[in-house]
Amino acid sequence: MSEKSEKSEKSEQNRLSVFKTYKLYVGGKFPRSESGRVYEVTSSKGEWLANAPQSSRKDARDAVVAARKAFGGWAGKTAYNRGQVLYRVAEMLEGRREQFVREVADAEGLSKSKAAAQVDAAIDRWVWYAGWTDKIAQIAGGANPVAGPYFNLSSPEPTGVVAVVAPQESSFLGLVSVVAPVIATGNTAVVIASEAAPLPALSLGEVLATSDLPGGVVNVLSGRTAEITAPLAAHQDVNALDLCGADEVLAKELEVAAADNLKRVVRPQPVDWSADQGTHRLTAFLETKTVWHPTGSLGASGSAY
Amino acid sequence: MADKTETLNNPFEYAPAPESRSVVDIAPSYGLFIDGEFTEAADGKVFKTVSPATEEVLSEVAQAGAADVDRAVKAARKAFVKWSALPGAERAKYLFRIARIIQERSRELAVLETLDNGKPIKETRDADLPLVAAHFFYYAGWADKLDHAGYGANPQPLGVAGQVIPWNFPLLMLAWKIAPALATGNTVVLKPAETTPLSALFFADICRQAGLPKGVVNILPGYGDTGAAIVAHDDVNKVAFTGSTAVGKEIARTVAGTDKKLTLELGGKGANIVFDDAPIDQAVEGIVSGIFFNQGQVCCAGSRLLVQESVQDELLDSLKRRLGTLRLGDPLDKNTDIGAINSAEQLARITALAETGEAEGAERWSAPCELPTSGYWFAPTLFTNVTQAHTVARDEIFGPVLSVLTFRTPEEAVAKANNSQYGLSAGIWTEKGSRILAVADRLRAGVVWANTFNKFDPTSPFGGYKESGFGREGGRHGLEAYLDV
Amino acid sequence: MPTTAHATASATASAFADATASDSALRRFLHGLPGVDAVGLEARAAALGTRSIKTTAKAYAIDLAISMIDLTTLEGADTPGKVRALGAKAVHPDPSDRTTPRTAAVCVYPDMVATAKEAVAGSGVKVASVATAFPAGRAALDVKLADVRDAVAAGADEIDMVIDRGAFLAGRYLKVYDEIRAVKEASGTARLKVIFETGELSTYDNIRRASWLGMMAGADFIKTSTGKVGVNATPANTLLMLEAVRDFKQQTGVQIGVKPAGGIRTSKDAVKFLVLVNETAGADWLDNHWFRFGASSLLNDLLMQRQKLATGRYSGPDYVTVD
């Protein structure tokens, strides 16, 4: 075990602080890894921060089951309602701002003010995506003027269960920027937290649990990225993969595995998390459904005598 | 004379009404089309293409190998510089030219396609060719409007697009691939299917007539290995494939870890759901067009009929009666409804799957019709007493074979329809508007036809959910596959 | 083929006794028929319209079409002279070619029946008379029945009645039904064609309901229109009625004829209608006992096409007789 951080003791004067046991967030509950394993999470300076659950293949499988179970209900909610729920998440985040600032500062080795800027941007991003839920269909779909007596309408629909490999570096702003767009459109997510900096992600689970978000819509796993993602990429009941936090070698392996059931794959690419994110991550996990309806005339009418 | 009635058997026999073959002039041999020129394959390989209706050899076609692929990609890369830099309005005019030349030559191309593919002239003339021209016309108009397409300002092309297309709609699939690629400023290397290379080579000639700059379009006939070489080529930026799910997965593995953008349009096992309040006569027509259009060799075919149990007998009686009127035979005859199966291999596959259906206990019924003695033919067939567990209810047959299943409630219909690895198309037949919307909403399929089936339009995005592939072709959505966005 | 028209009509009536027991029962029955999707119906009719009918098939179709014509004059200006000319033409459509089939019938107003009867006497050409206050049908039932009896008394072989579209559109189906039954009774041995005026019924659902209503009430033929409104026979409404007679026969064993009327002017059109008959109702209907065209100018076009087939050169209007 590495050297214990004295930070908490100092900041709380002479009172012995209460450590937090970080747990997974799966199906709306906070289980430990079924394997019973944990791994040490340290700050960027190498100080021990906490023991995080080291998820197993079975944890990954359980998370997929939870995500699939939640999919129908979440996708079936009105877009307005999803927006309300997501906005509620932002409200909860705001309330726990200080905690996230501390966790981000520890995880990423940032000053308090820089960490605060990250957290603020993350909360604002969440609000931004909350507003997208009932607008994306209007920009990604619409009526098509087919050459015939048909009304033809294209609508975006969520792809299903998305496995999200969260960015390794940006433990909170990056995380939020990959999770929120996935669920905004009605998908459910299995999120693999940054391997080295999983604590903000695990804390996000606690926020989601108290934000009207149905259990299973977001599932957060911590552990060894390669170990958890391999079964997810091969899982036949996962529909898509955001490889954001996978390195080049892993990303290729996962993309190959994903081909078995033709998952939609977003490859890793450098992202400036502070910049405008555009709609790419929203549309990447949408399917376009086009429905044809006959129209025709109202019928002949009228007499001439 | 006016008085008594002679009761002849079937007195109204339609006399043969063959479309003239003389409108098309097929050369004894064709080369690859690379950098604006027809050329032999580097290794001199050729293959024969036959008419599936007669097994007559139509022509001998150069077979592209890896060296040819490399040459074509280089030509496309070179052409990309100027082509992508052209003002959109200029690219548009080339595409408009192509669209117009296709319209002018459409009878010739329809006959050619019917000869090479085996599908009825009625379909090439009334469906394939009009849609081909319309597709070019539609995307031509996008070329100078990309700023307004919803992909941000000044969206950029990807580069060289490697495209591999199937044999079921040879020229239409070419149009679906080439029109958006060129409109967005990409250049292309396209491989037509080995059993239907001719219309793509005629298209090469149209590119020349249109004055399209050399290297913008390259056509490489060949087999699967040619396609694999295109997909794997390092200097290809975009891969678009229409074909089987198995090959689609292989392609997805090949491009994994690269920067190649990929779109796949693959198999399907479309559910055509008929409720008890359906407009029954139109439903019968929709079932027929759903599974017997193009001999059922359609990825979005309505190959699973899900009929509400309470109207099953009535519907099947009507369907069988209707199938009895289908005219199978010479694809060039204007009255032919069912043409030839595209190849001996495909016929063997259909035959084997149909035998599996029987072996697994489904009840087989085939329309009473005489099959020609030469060529590849399969009578319109349906299987009843089929359950979700039968192979014929799960595997894509890609032939004129319909599996009939029943359901009791809308809930069950949707569950059964979605119980498939595929998710390309579905049909809903009911007179109740709210049910259409509710069922359409729950179906996991990219294209849903309500009270109609197998309708296509260049403005209408097409593509699948799940293992039917990803990406959309057609409409504004179809641009995304060819833009760096 | 049915034994006698009356026996059939009463058998049909009893088969549908429940459905016709009350206005509401009849409404439930008619509204329980499968709906019609207009786009799909029209697409099917158009698709059949692309059949290519050539050489021997065309010759057969042209002669068949000629033999199916109810050669019609229904003008306020009709005179005995006009009707006699029409009768002569029905008997010998092409004076230059005596192998030309006769038309099925001439169709006139009741007051012209006697004249028409005389003009076609001995030829086998039938005389059909419109009746029941044709074309609007806006008269009291006894007036309509008197109209029918008048025509029958004058020798009409066939009666072309109009239904009460007002009652139909108001949902008073039983009134329409009873009226057809009464007219059938008054027609005696004359075959009864029931005109729906499909252009006024407007929707295909209505046309299907009217078709069943007419067949249940004892119609020998169901007929699209009077020829007096904007939209008369169309491939789509005729296809729909052909489906109705096909289904009715399947259900009851009783075969009913179909007569599209109005708007069919060219051979090409007529051949398309025959393709509809062939591929919808089937060969059993390819006979003028079961299918008719209500037309006038169509005949000359058929004759010109017939001459073209015989001689290989295109004919012209000077080589057929004006009506």
pLDDT(C159) > 80: yes
Mutation site for B-interface testing, chosen from C37, C55, C212, C246 by largest number of B Cβ within 10 Å: C37
pLDDT(A9) > 90: no
- B39 shares contact with chain A (CB less than 8 Å): no
Q: What separation in angstroms does the CA of B312 have from each of A204, B257, B398, B443?
A: 53, 50, 24, 22
What pLDDT score was predicted for residue C2?
43
Query: Percent of chain B having pLDDT more than 90?
Result: 97
Across the range A160-177, mean pLDDT stands at: 98
Q: Using alpha carbons only, how large is chain C's radius of gyration in Å? A: 19
pLDDT(A84) > 70: yes
Helices A79-95 and A112-132 cross at an angle (nearest 10°) of: 170
Please answer whether residues B311 and B284 qualify as being in contact, where contact means their C-beta atoms are separated by less than 8 angstroms.
no
Across the range C290-316, mean pLDDT stands at: 95
Identify the band that residue A299 occupies on the pLDDT scale cut at 50, 70 and 90: confident
Q: Given an 8 Å threshold on Cβ–Cβ distance, is A262 in contact with B466?
A: yes
What pLDDT score was predicted for residue C15?
85
Helices B170-183 and B129-142 cross at an angle (nearest 10°) of: 10
What pLDDT score was predicted for residue B214?
98
Distance CA C49, CA C53 (A): 10
Q: Is the peptide bond before A31 cis (omega within 30 degrees of 0)?
A: no
- What value does the mean pLDDT of chain B take? 96
Structure-token pair, residue B259: 């920067």
What pLDDT score was predicted for residue A303?
63
Instruction: Quote the minimal CA–CA distance from C32 to chain B in Å.
Output: 9
**Model ipTM value:** 0.96
pLDDT(B2) > 50: no
Across the range A194-206, mean pLDDT stands at: 98
Q: Which of A97, A225, A113, A122 is nearest to A172 (CA)?
A: A122
**Which residues pair with residue A55 across a beta bridge?**
none
Identify the band that residue A39 occupies on the pLDDT scale cut at 50, 70 and 90: very high
Distance CA C105, CA C223 (A): 15
Task: Write out pLDDT tens, residues B187-244.
Answer: 999 999 999 999 999 999 999 999 999 999 999 999 999 999 999 999 999 999 999 9
Residue A123, domain member (yes or no)? yes
What pLDDT score was predicted for residue C180?
98
Instruction: Quote the minimal CA–CA distance from A117 to chain B in Å.
Output: 28
| Closest residue in chain A to residue C206, using alpha carbons only | A299
Residue C123 Ramachandran class (φ > 0 left, ψ -120 to 50 alpha, else beta):
alpha
Identify the band that residue A90 occupies on the pLDDT scale cut at 50, 70 and 90: very high
Q: Give all strands of the β-sheet with A161-165 in edge-to-edge order.
A: A218-221, A188-192, A161-165, A240-242, A264-266
Distance CA B47, CA B61 (A): 5
Domains and CATH numbers, chain C: 5-314 (3.20.20.70)
Identify the band that residue A195 occupies on the pLDDT scale cut at 50, 70 and 90: very high
pLDDT(A12) > 90: no
- What value does the mean pLDDT of chain A take? 95
- What value does the mean pLDDT of chain C take? 95
Task: Write out pLDDT tens, residues A256-290.
Answer: 999 999 999 999 999 999 999 999 999 999 999 99
Q: Given an 8 Å threshold on Cβ–Cβ distance, is A144 in contact with B460?
A: yes
3-state secondary structure of C310: helix
Q: Which of A304, A298, B279, A301 is nearest to C201 (CA)?
A: A301
Q: In this complex, which of C38, C39, C229 lies closest to A303 when CB atoms are compared?
A: C229
Domains and CATH numbers, chain B: 21-266+468-480 (3.40.605.10), 271-457 (3.40.309.10)
Q: In this complex, which of C42, C198, C229 lies closest to A304 when CB atoms are compared?
A: C229
Q: Sign (positive/negative) of CA torsion C246, C252, C254, C257? A: negative
Number of domains present in the structure of chain A: 1
Q: Given an 8 Å threshold on Cβ–Cβ distance, is A299 in contact with C228?
A: no
Distance CA A115, CA B221 (A): 58
Query: How many CB atoms are located within 10 Å of the residue B358 CB?
Result: 12
Task: Write out pLDDT tens, residues B48-96.
Answer: 999 999 999 999 999 999 999 999 999 999 999 999 999 999 999 999 9
Please answer whether residues B18 and C139 qualify as being in contact, where contact means their C-beta atoms are separated by less than 8 angstroms.
no
- C39 shares contact with chain B (CB less than 8 Å): yes
Please answer whether residues B106 and B113 qualify as being in contact, where contact means their C-beta atoms are separated by less than 8 angstroms.
no
Residue A134's domain comprises: 23-294
pLDDT(C1) > 50: no
Instruction: Quote the minimal CA–CA distance from C39 to chain A in Å.
Output: 5
In chain C, which residues have their Cβ closer than 8 Å to the Cβ of B3? 124
Across the range C164-173, mean pLDDT stands at: 97
Mutation site for B-interface testing, chosen from C52, C237, C250 by largest number of B Cβ within 10 Å: C52
What pLDDT score was predicted for residue B485?
93
Q: Given an 8 Å threshold on Cβ–Cβ distance, is A147 in contact with B252?
A: no
Q: Which of B380, B383, B385 is nearest to B399 (CA)?
A: B380
Residue A11, domain member (yes or no)? no
In chain B, which residues have their Cβ closer than 8 Å to the Cβ of C35? 277-279, 431
pLDDT(C245) > 70: yes
| H helices present in B184-266, as ranges | 198-209, 224-232, 245-255
Query: Percent of chain C having pLDDT more than 70?
Result: 97
What pLDDT score was predicted for residue A197?
98
Q: What separation in angstroms does the CA of C86 have from each of C103, C227, C298?
A: 11, 17, 13
What pLDDT score was predicted for residue C7?
66
Distance CA B423, CA C90 (A): 61
Distance CA B11, CA B326 (A): 17
DSSP string, A131-176: HHTTTHHHHH-EE---SSSEEEEEEEEE-SEEEEE--SS-TTHHHH
Q: Which helix (H) or strand (E) holds A8?
A: helix A7-11
Q: Which of C241, C134, C127, C277 is nearest to C190 (CA)?
A: C127
In chain A, which residues have their Cβ closer than 8 Å to the Cβ of B459? 144-147, 152
Across the range A60-85, mean pLDDT stands at: 98
Q: Sign (positive/negative) of CA torsion A249, A108, A87, A32? A: positive
Q: Structure pTM?
A: 0.95
Residue A32, domain member (yes or no)? yes
What pLDDT score was predicted for residue C5?
57
Task: Write out pLDDT tens, residues C47-64.
Answer: 999 999 999 999 999 999
Residue A247, domain member (yes or no)? yes
Residue A16, domain member (yes or no)? no
In chain C, which residues have their Cβ closer than 8 Å to the Cβ of A150? 39
Residues of C labelled catalytic: 160, 223, 259
Q: What separation in angstroms does the CA of B134 have from each of A104, B144, B457, C61, C159?
A: 55, 17, 8, 36, 51
pLDDT(A6) > 90: no
What pLDDT score was predicted for residue B7?
40
Task: Write out pLDDT tens, residues C66-93.
Answer: 999 999 999 999 999 999 999 999 999 9
Across the range C172-191, mean pLDDT stands at: 98
Q: Given an 8 Å threshold on Cβ–Cβ distance, is C55 in contact with B12?
A: no
Q: Provide the residue count of chain B.
A: 485
What pLDDT score was predicted for residue C4?
55
Task: Write out pLDDT tens, residues B280-332.
Answer: 999 999 999 999 999 999 999 999 999 999 999 999 999 999 999 999 999 99
Residue A15, domain member (yes or no)? no
Residue A74, domain member (yes or no)? yes
Q: Which of B207, B242, B234, B228 is nearest to B83 (CA)?
A: B207
Task: Write out pLDDT tens, residues C110-147.
Answer: 999 999 999 999 999 999 999 999 999 999 999 999 99
What pLDDT score was predicted for residue A297?
78
Active-site residue (options: B194, B299, B467, B473): B299
Identify the band that residue A3 occupies on the pLDDT scale cut at 50, 70 and 90: very low
Q: What is the CATH number of the domain that holds A62?
A: 3.40.605.10
Neighbors of chain A with 3 or more C-beta pairs under 8 Å: B, C
Q: Provide the residue count of chain A.
A: 305
Identify the band that residue B1 occupies on the pLDDT scale cut at 50, 70 and 90: very low
In chain C, which residues have their Cβ closer than 8 Å to the Cβ of B122? 50
Q: Are strands A38-42 and B46-50 parallel, antiparallel or unpaired?
A: unpaired
